Amino acid sequence: MKKVLLLVLAAVLLISLGIAVLAAGGGYSDVSDGDWYAEAVKALKEKDLMNGVGGGSFDPDGVFTRAQLATVLYRMAGSPAVSGDDGFSDTAPGKWYSDAVLWASENGVVNGYGDGRFGTNDAATQEQVAVMLWRDAGSYVLGPEYADENGVENSAGAWAEDAVRWARVDGLLTDAIPFEPKADASRAQVADMVYRYMQLLERFSDTDAVSGATSQADGGNGSEEPTVYFTADISAEGLVKIYEALGWEPQGKVAVKISTGEPPASNYLRPELIGDLVKKLDGTIVECNTAYGGSRSSSAMHKQVAKDHGFTDIAGFDLMDEEGTMEIPADGAKHLKGDIVGSHFDDYDCFLILSHFKGHAMAGYGGAIKNTSIGIASPSGKARIHSGGKSDVSIWGGTQDDFLESMAEAAKAVSDYLGEGERIVYINVMNRLSIDCDCDGNPAEPDIHDIGILASTDPVALDQACMDLIFDAEGNASFVNRVNSLNGIHTIEYAEEIGLGSRAYKTVSIDD
């Protein structure tokens, strides 16, 4: 009897130990208590964020798809209701991943491959996991403590370097296994990174910063944040009021840089909207000819468009490159040896950059930075910017990022020339929010309702604020996809990097 009792006790003890081992790994037969990922697997299962593969297995060495990772982050966000289309060619409505991918796309957490595909069933690489977590965290602007040049991010793609550096410094990467950015992430590795990310969020839930990183809306450089003024009143009166909120007092001759719009049906800012402000400034509407075909590639045709669109009825109109060009310095630029603008540019003492914020088929989006760079450049200057400094004749020849960075460099050259930004201010009008630019005579109809008018003395803060509103807007999938597919946000990122302005800002509504 004593022997039987001992056997029974031994059996009970073994069963108890077995249960403890299984519990530590979430109840999976292939996850043991001592595994480096066991705690993460259990925690994610308890929160119903990441489950096994069936048959009591977790499959720690298996791959994890991009759609599965989007689903985990969607569940972390509380699985909010979504509607619309994600814009990807390889996704379909009504699937297990549909809401998650749509949510992730609308919130800037995921991009496609640039060819319209999301890569639904593709294995997520280790650098892609880092990027998606980083974007979910708000694409934090990295502080000086992230400057170590010897990290694993050196072997990551340029688009992923900041995310991998953030993940390394903030403890999302384990020492248990090597981090290989371009290799497929295992299910165990994804679970561990997501779990560490959750712990990071919990540790800093009462602050706006993570290990010295600062959200792009929270003051990345530690200096006083520029102000972006906002009004929902998209009217002539609202435009004048938001300009007055800037407190800017121009001296001398004032240029108002707009886009005259490509015929027959582009979404240019109408004269009835901007007329009162232009007259208040006693301003001259200025433009430059285009570097492509269409109705505005020669001075005669362009002036006819300005007349047909009603601009000559409200103010003087000047094609700044009609009589030639001038080159202004682009100090410290990586791509541009100088910025080629119209020769009349020097005739003006101050500039108001009045932009229609919208998508763009080459830049991803168009706002203050683009209007200040491409907009003020002559056709040869436009070619130099588009080609990344490689040609003054052809717009082709540079990479996409070369083009985006050259826009930022040209905008900074203009700002520097105008008294280090003292003689230039910026207004973006967020109406008719098509994915296509005003240079498109037959743009796509907008999916996003009109939002308002924003103004700032800082073009980087202004474009960032507009982009933030786009990413928060209902029906934004096509616009977000246009921006992300062309890496459009990089213009803003690089503009901040070279000192044109700050992505951190504070918003002041003049409607309150």
**Distance, first Cα to last Cα, the chain:** 85
- Higher-pLDDT residue of 179 and 307 is 307
Asked if 188 and 281 sit in the same domain, the reply is no
| Structure confidence at residue 350 (pLDDT) | 98
Asked if 388 and 429 sit in the same domain, the reply is yes
The verdict on residue 147 lying in a domain is yes
* 135-149, 159-173, 403-417, 464-478: least confident range: 135-149
Q: pLDDT for 353-367, tens place per residue?
A: 999 999 999 999 999
Q: Are 44 and 189 in contact (CB under 8 A)?
A: no
Rounded distance between C-alpha atoms, residue 222 and residue 94, angstroms: 45
| Domain containing residue 272: CATH number | 3.40.50
> In the chain, what percentage of residues exceed pLDDT 90?
70
Q: Are 187 and 59 in contact (CB under 8 A)?
A: yes
What is the mean predicted confidence (pLDDT) over 20-42? 77
* 50-64, 144-158, 236-250, 288-302: least confident range: 144-158
E strands present in 197-349: 209-210, 213-214, 227-231, 254-257, 284-287, 316-319, 325-328, 339-342
Report the Cα 298 to chain-centroid distance in Å. Answer: 34
The verdict on residue 78 lying in a domain is no
The verdict on residue 13 lying in a domain is no
Rounded distance between C-alpha atoms, residue 34 and residue 135, angstroms: 32
The verdict on residue 89 lying in a domain is no
Asked if 182 and 265 sit in the same domain, the reply is no
Asked if 209 and 287 sit in the same domain, the reply is no
What is the mean predicted confidence (pLDDT) over 180-193? 95
The verdict on residue 337 lying in a domain is yes
Domain-ending residue, one of 158, 185, 214: 214
| Structure confidence at residue 18 (pLDDT) | 35
Asked if 328 and 198 sit in the same domain, the reply is no
Asked if 290 and 195 sit in the same domain, the reply is no
pLDDT band at 23 (very low <50, low <70, confident <90, very high): very low
The verdict on residue 369 lying in a domain is yes
Domain extent for 305: 228-509
What is the mean predicted confidence (pLDDT) over 431-437? 96
3-state secondary structure of 428: strand
What is the mean predicted confidence (pLDDT) over 98-110? 91
What is the mean predicted confidence (pLDDT) over 60-88? 92
| Structural domain count, the chain | 2
Q: What share of the chain is helix, strand, coil (3-state, %, to 5)?
A: 40, 15, 45
Asked if 249 and 287 sit in the same domain, the reply is yes
The yes-or-no verdict on residue 391 having pLDDT over 70 is yes
Asked if 183 and 241 sit in the same domain, the reply is no
The verdict on residue 333 lying in a domain is yes
Record the tokens describing residue 218, joined without a space: 């929270």
3-state secondary structure of 438: coil
| Structure confidence at residue 263 (pLDDT) | 94
Asked if 480 and 394 sit in the same domain, the reply is yes
Q: pLDDT for 199-218, tens place per residue?
A: 877 765 433 434 434 334 33
Asked if 282 and 324 sit in the same domain, the reply is yes
Asked if 294 and 331 sit in the same domain, the reply is yes
Give me the half-sphere count of Cα atoms (radius 13 Å) on the Cβ side of residue 27: 10
The yes-or-no verdict on residue 222 having pLDDT over 70 is no
Q: pLDDT for 130-178, tens place per residue?
A: 999 988 887 766 666 566 555 666 688 888 888 888 888 888 988 888 8
Q: pLDDT for 2-13, tens place per residue?
A: 333 333 333 333
> In the chain, what percentage of residues exceed pLDDT 70?
88
Q: Are 375 and 256 in contact (CB under 8 A)?
A: no
pLDDT band at 457 (very low <50, low <70, confident <90, very high): very high
| Structure confidence at residue 208 (pLDDT) | 40
- Higher-pLDDT residue of 219 and 176 is 176
The yes-or-no verdict on residue 389 having pLDDT over 90 is yes
Rounded distance between C-alpha atoms, residue 239 and residue 276, angstroms: 9
| Structure confidence at residue 169 (pLDDT) | 81
3-state secondary structure of 355: strand
Rounded distance between C-alpha atoms, residue 275 and residue 283, angstroms: 10
Q: Kindly report the average pLDDT of the chain as a whole number.
A: 88
* 81-85, 207-211, 223-227: least confident range: 207-211
Record the tokens describing residue 486, joined without a space: 């062309």
* 52-61, 216-225, 298-307, 420-429: least confident range: 216-225
The answer to pTM > 0.75 is no
Domain-ending residue, one of 214, 239, 255: 214
The verdict on residue 104 lying in a domain is no
DSSP readout, 91-147? --TTSTTHHHHHHHHHTTS----SSS---TTSBPBHHHHHHHHHHHTT-PBP-GGG-
E strands present in 358-463: 358-360, 364-366, 424-430, 452-456
Asked if 425 and 503 sit in the same domain, the reply is yes
Domain-ending residue, one of 214, 238, 253: 214
| Structure confidence at residue 26 (pLDDT) | 63
- Cα pseudo-dihedral 157, 161, 165, 167, rounded to 10: -70
pLDDT band at 14 (very low <50, low <70, confident <90, very high): very low
Rounded distance between C-alpha atoms, residue 143 and residue 141, angstroms: 7
Q: Which of 132-136, 291-295, 439-443, 488-492 has the highest mean pLDDT?
A: 488-492
